[in-house]
């Protein structure tokens, strides 16, 4: 998937007003995800995405200590995405779901299955709900 396609898909699915908001949602979600997941997994996901899309994952890996990622739940994940994007928390949650959905479609080789295995249940639900599904709690 090309950069413009990725941004456009997130914009449409998250119902964002413009590509700038979409890019902010992508960056905020992937930076936060990069803080949460193991470093090697973050790099593997980033390698399958357009360079500009994967860069927040790579940048986060280089900024945090090498290891298995921070431990935090969905509430903290959404709070961080909200702070990074300037969106309120419900909008940040919905945008993050869209970003993860498009990321799933843009990657292959079971990488998103590995991602889900590395997350706690509440964040797994977030990664599985997509933009059309209902977020079960």
Domain ranges, residue 121? 3-129
Q: What is the pLDDT of residues 11-25, one digit of tens each?
A: 999 999 999 999 999
Burial class (CB in 10 A: 0-12, 13-18, 19+), 137: exposed
Residue 69 · residue 38 · CB < 8 Å? yes
Is 121 a member of any domain? Answer: yes
Is 136 a member of any domain? Answer: no
Residue 66: pLDDT band by 50, 70, 90 thresholds?
A: very low
Q: What is the pLDDT of residues 22-57, one digit of tens each?
A: 999 999 999 999 999 988 899 999 999 999 999 988
Domain count for the chain: 1
| CATH code for the domain of 57 | 1.10.490.110
Q: What is the pLDDT of residues 89-99, one digit of tens each?
A: 999 999 999 99
Tokens of 57: 């994952």
């Amino acid at each position: 998937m090309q950069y413009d396609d990725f941004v456009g898909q997130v914009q449409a699915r998250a119902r964002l007003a413009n590509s700038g908001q979409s890019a902010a949602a992508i960056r905020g979600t992937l930076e936060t995800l990069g803080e949460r997941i193991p470093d090697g997994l973050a790099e593997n996901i980033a390698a399958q995405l357009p360079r500009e899309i994967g860069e927040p994952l790579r940048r986060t890996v280089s900024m945090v200590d090498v290891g298995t990622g921070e431990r935090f739940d969905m509430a903290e994940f959404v709070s961080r995405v909200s702070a990074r994007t300037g969106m309120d928390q419900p909008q940040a949650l919905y945008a993050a779901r869209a970003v993860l959905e498009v990321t799933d479609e843009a990657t292959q080789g079971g990488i998103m299955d590995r991602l889900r295995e590395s997350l706690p249940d509440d964040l797994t639900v977030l990664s599985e709900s997509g933009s059309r599904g209902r977020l079960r709690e």
